[in-house]
Structure 1
Amino acid sequence: MTDKIIPVPEGSMVRRGILGLSAAGAAVGGLASAGLGLLAPTSARAQEAGTSRLQTVLERGHLIVGTGSTNPPWHFEDESGTLVGMDIDMARLLARGLFDDPEKVEFVLQGPDARIPSLITEKVDIVCQFMTVTPGRAQQADFTVPYYREGVGVMMMADGDYKTFDDLKAAGSDLTLSALQNVFIEDWAHKELPEARVDQFESPDAALQALNARRVDGYFGDQSAIRWLMQQAPDRYIDAGRGWMPNSYASAVKQGDPIWLNWVNTVYREAMLGVDFDYFAASYQKWFGITLETPKVGFPSEFA
C-alpha cells in the first residue's frame, strides 16, 4: 500500500496512563476436567494469541506506526517529500516481516509528548521515534531491545584550530561551543569540558551556522546528528572523537502484550545479528556513516 501519513497535533492526547497486564486463565491436571470453568492450556494460548496486537495487525493488513518528520537522521522528509530516516527504516523492517512488503505501513506523525499517549489510546501499534529508554517511561510502555546508543559530542571544522578532544580540553576557558537552547545544556557540556563557554541558540540550524561562520570552536549536540551532518559534508567537519551521557533508543509498544513485544524483539535482534543484518547495516551506513562488523558465525555472541 502507499504510505498514509496522519499528523497528530502535539499534546492532543492525555500524557499519562498505567495499564494493567492482560492475562488468560489456565488450568492444570484435574481442575480442567472437573468442570470448574477454567481454560485448559491450549485454549488459554489461543485466547492470548487472538487478543494480541500481532493478530490485530495481521488481520488489518498494514502496520500503524507513530513517528515524527522533523529530526534527521531519525525521521524527516527528503527532497521529494518522502518520509525517511533510521526510525522509518525500522518501521519498514517490521512491515516486511509482517507482510513481506515494507510499504504496508501507515505513519502517524506526532510530537514527542504524544508518543506514550498514542500507544495507550491504541492510535498506533508501535512508536518508532528516537525514544530514549528511561525507568519512568518503562512504567507506562514496554520498550523493545535498543537499536542505537545515543550520546553527546562535539563537531568541529575540519580546517579549524582544534583537531582532537584533547585539544578541546586543553583550550580550557578559551573554548566556545554552540548548542541548542536547553536548561541543562551547560551542565551536559561541562561534564567533560568543564571550562568551556556554551553559546545557546534557538534552533540547531542557528547553532550550526555559528560554527560555519567560525564564531564558535565547536558544535555541541547529539552524536547521531553530528554523524548525519558529517555524512552530508564529509570534508567540512570532523568529530572530536569522544561521546558522553549515553542513552538508548528503542521502539515502544503498549503494555501487557508479550506476544507482540516478543515478535518485534525477534525482528530487531535478527536484524542486528542475523538474517536481516545486511538491511540493518545498510541503514547504519546511510544515516550515521557507521560500518557495522558482520556478526561472527558460530556460537551466538549475545549468549557468550
Structure 2
Amino acid sequence: MRGASKTLSTMAGAFALSLSFIASAQADGKLQEVLSRGRLIVGTGSTNPPWGFQDKSGKLAGFDIDLARIIAKGLFNDPSKVEFVTQSSDARIPNITTGQVDMTCQAMTVTAPRAQQVAFTVPYYREGVGLLLKKGGKYADYAALKAAGSAVTVSVLQNVYAEEMVHQALPDAKVDQFDNVGLMYQALNSGRSDAAATDASSLRWFMKQNPDKYADAGYGWNPQNYSCAVKQGDADWLRFVDTAIEQALTGVDFGDYGTAYETWFGVTPPAPAIGFPR
C-alpha cells in the first residue's frame, strides 16, 4: 500500500505541476502581455490612403488606423492606447513572426500561402477592382464602356496580370499600363484613357475627395478579403482580436466602424440586422 500511495503522490504532484505550467502559459500569452504593457503595438502603412497615411498635420490617419483604435478601445476602453509602427508591405509578416508588433493592420489580402506564416483575423473589408470615370465624360457607366468595345482605353497600374484583369471586365478594351498610380490617374484626367482600373477602396476615396470630378462606373470584380494578422500559436489573442473586429462589424462597436467607413469611403455601410446574427 505504501508503494501505491507513493505512486499516487507522485502522479498528483506531476498533475499539479502540469496545471502550473498551463496557468503560466496562459498568463504569459499575448493578451495578458498587451494588457500588462498598457498599450497595443500595431504595424501599419503610412503611404497608402485611405488605409494608412500621414494627414496634413503629419499624423497617421486612415481606415486601418481607425480599426486599430477600435481594438485598443476594446482592450483598455481607450482608443488612444495604441502605438503604431510604420512598415513597408514586405515587412508585414516578418514583423509579426519576430514579435516586433502585436498585430498588423495594413490592407493585407488573405491568401492560403500567407496563412501558413501568420494567423489571419476575420475579414474587415472586401477589396476588389473598380472602374473610375471622369464625371460628365464620354462614357456614363460600365454598360456604356462595355458596349463601346475596342474604342475604350483603360489605364491600369503595370503588372503581369494587368491586361488579363482588365479584360475580365471589358474583354475588348485597350489596356494602357503605367508604372505608378499617379500616371495612371493622370491618363484619365487628360483624356488619354476613358477609365482607370483601380482598387475599389481607392476609387471610393478619390470620389470622396473629389465628388464633382469622378464617378464610379458601377461594376466591381476580382474580390479579395482584407484581414489583420497576428502571430500563430496564441488562440486567446486571436480570439480576442476576432471578437473586437466582429463587434465592430455587427455589434456594439458598429457605430465606430460605420463612422470610419463613411469617413474614408464616402459610403454608409448597412447596419447589422436585428435578430438572426448572420
Taking structure 1 as the reference length, the TM-score comes to 0.85
1:281 to 236, 258, 267: 258
CA distance in structure 2 between the partners assigned to 1:196 and 1:290 by the alignment: 29
Which structure has the larger Rg over C-alpha atoms?
Answer: 2
Write the distance in 2 (CA, Å) between the matches of 1:117 and 1:145. 20
- The aligned runs of 1:169-180 (5 Å cut-off) are 169-180=146-157
**Structure 2 SS opposite 1:285:** helix
RMSD value, Cα? 1.8
Q: Are residues 234 and 32 of structure 1, via their aligned partners in 2, closer, same or farther at CA, if it must alter by over 3 Å? A: farther
Contact 1:157–1:212 (8 Å) recurs in 2: yes
In structure 2, the residue corresponding to 1:80 is in which secondary structure? coil
Does 2:44 align with 1:93?
no
Residue 12 of structure 1 corresponds to which residue in structure 2?
Answer: none
Q: Gaps (5+ residues) in structure 1?
A: 1-29
5 Å matches for 1:40-119? 43=20, 46-119=23-96
User: Take 1:169 and 1:132, find their aligned partners in 2: how far apart are those partners?
Assistant: 28
Partner residue of 1:146?
123
Q: Secondary structure at the match of 2:131?
A: strand
- Segments of structure 2 that go 5 or more residues without pairing to the other structure are 1-6
Task: State the distance in 1 between where 2:225 and 2:172 align.
Answer: 28
CA deviation after TM superposition for structure 1 residue 51, in Å? 2.2
SS at match of 1:243: strand
Match of 1:124 among 77, 101, 108: 101
Aligned residue for 1:21? none
Normalised TM-score (structure 2): 0.93
SS of residue paired to 1:191: helix
CA distance in structure 2 between the aligned counterparts of 1:39 and 1:148, rounded to whole angstroms? 45
Which of the numbers 281, 285, 290 marks the counterpart of 2:267?
A: 290
Is contact 1:32–1:40 with CA below 8 Å preserved after alignment? no
In structure 1, the partner of 2:4 is none
Give the superposition deviation at 1:279.
0.3
Cα distance, 1:90 vs structure 2: 0.8
* 1:191-270 correspondence runs (5 A): 191-270=168-247
Show CA shifts across 1:125-182 (max 9, x none): 0000000000000000000000000000101011111111111111111110111121
Indicate which of 147, 154, 158 corresponds to 2:135.
158
Q: Does 1:38 align with 2:15?
A: yes
Indicate the SS of the match to 2:197: strand
What is the aligned-residue identity percentage?
52
Quick one: distance in 1 between partners of 2:167 and 2:112? 25
Paired letter, 1:59: S
Quickly say closer, same or farther: Cα 1:168–1:48, change in 2 above 3 A. Answer: same
What is the one-letter code of the residue matched to 2:118? A
* Match in the other structure for 1:186: 163
- For residue 288 of structure 1, what is the amino acid of its counterpart? F
Q: CA deviation at 1:296?
A: 2.1
